[in-house]
Amino acid sequence: MNTIKPFDYPIHITRPVLPDLNKVFKKLREIWESKWLTNMGDQHKALELKLLQYLKTKYLSLFCNGTLALELAIEALKLTGEVITTPFTFPATVNSLYRSNITPIFCDIKLNDLNIDEDGIEDLISPKTSGIMPVHVFGNPCEVEKLERIAKKNNLKVIYDAAHCFGVEYKDIGIGNFGDISMFSFHATKIFHTIEGGALTYNNSELKEDLNLLKNFGIKNENEVILPGTNAKMNELQAAIGLLSLTLVKKEIEMRKNLTSIYQENLKDIEGIKYLDKKKEVKHNYQYFPILIDESKFNFNRDYVYEYLKKFNIFSRRYFYPLCTEYRFSKKKANCRIPNANKIVNQVLCLPLYGELKREEIEKICAILISTLKI
Ligand code: T4K
């Protein structure tokens, strides 16, 4: 019988980082006075400049969300046919391919970082392959150098889904510098957010104009519409929230780093529970804290623990269950071999992580998790 009492308030997987409301009012007043609400106004311009510096990238374009940004990246790079990607990701990654009439070809993942297995990619290349879309899962960078070599050798474009990677660096280089384009999500659940929003970063200056056209109906000027673009603009209120949240990111990352080490300390000797190792030469952002529960060593399987935590008012998440290959509209190829992804998808559990959490709350979450061993 467990004697630990449930939390008397819900502990969510995350909570948004919220700027001071007075500062938000001040920004709103500025916007109201300008009477400029969207279509690349002053807030938008200011945020683009700040993010270029923060993310240490050459070029950057803002969008109303990360998913549309991804779709427009695919269009800007003119990807067609097949794109090799991972089955272990949020629906947005592969849905952006389906929505662009591209068939995702699923490559297995690696057990050490849950990212696409770079060594499996070349076997999946066909005459129809136009690109690779790897995901830096949970903010852990893929092996970008290896991917670059594969892409170059096979003349393929690379779009990184860097939705979880705000502020992540590899060898002191902003993660958004790798590949042809990287997509960052600025959704409310991310360490940096604009409520909804996203950005693409890239090194090719020519993409800037194409992306501007694609996100603004293809309008070149008052007399010319030169391509069938859509509306994917970030508005001024979103950009203003971004400018304010950006000042909070450093502290949020610091707090999450401390909280992560409390989790690791409390869970380090528990047989059957593993967490991902810190990668060498990577500046992490501590966006998520995933653990892997191995049923053969731990008392229970991941789903049991997930439900058990709920009884204590703790809302962990099974990101990314189900695998993309299991969606009812998924076009899984008959020879799709993804044993690691099939194994991991039943083991991963993301535990609550956000700066406001207290040491005692994390210790209690761990104690409840460990208490399953005594059932
Ligand atoms: N690629 C990858 C790899 C991604 O993970 C994502 C998004 C994308 C692409 C697409 O980027 P965006 O188009 O979204 O910019 C959430 C987010 O909505 C989603 O952005 C994110 N990945 C995904 C991993 O997490 P859900 O379905 O888990 O959201 P939801 O509503 O269940 O929220 C999770 C928890 O967060 C809630 O239980 C409580 C807390 N929460 C949430 C919201 C919205 C709050 O406290 N306040 C809030 O306003 O997808």
Ligand 1 center to 223 CA (angstroms):
39
Please state, in angstroms and rounded to a whole number, the distance separating the CA atoms of residues 292 and 352: 14
Ligand 1 center to 187 CA (angstroms):
6
Please state, in angstroms and rounded to a whole number, the distance separating the CA atoms of residues 242 and 236: 10
Mind listing the pLDDT tens digit for each residue in 238-249? 999 999 999 999
Q: Is the pTM of this model over 0.85?
A: yes
Q: Which atom in ligand 1 lies closest to the alpha carbon of residue 198? A: 15
Of 135, 189, 310, best ligand 1 pocket probe by most atoms within 8 Å of the beta carbon: 189
Q: Which atom in ligand 1 lies closest to the alpha carbon of residue 13? A: 35
The identity of residue 66, as a single letter, is: G
Mind listing the pLDDT tens digit for each residue in 179-215? 999 999 999 999 999 999 999 999 999 999 999 999 9
87 close to ligand 1 (CB < 6 Angstrom): no
Q: What is the pLDDT of residue 261?
A: 97
For residue 323, the SS3 value is coil
Token code pair at residue 201: 């970063």
For residue 317, count other CB atoms closer than 10 A to its CB: 18
Nearest CA to ligand 1 atom 46: 15
Of 116, 164, 187, best ligand 1 pocket probe by most atoms within 8 Å of the beta carbon: 187
Contact status, residue 105 vs residue 127, Cβ threshold 8 Å: no
95 close to ligand 1 (CB < 6 Angstrom): no
DSSP 10-46: -B-S-------HHHHHHHHHHHHHHT--SSS-HHHHH
Please state, in angstroms and rounded to a whole number, the distance separating the CA atoms of residues 88 and 66: 18
Please state, in angstroms and rounded to a whole number, the distance separating the CA atoms of residues 282 and 309: 31
Comparison of pLDDT for 280 and 166, the residue scoring more:
166
Residue from 334, 332, 302, 301 nearest 317 by CA:
302
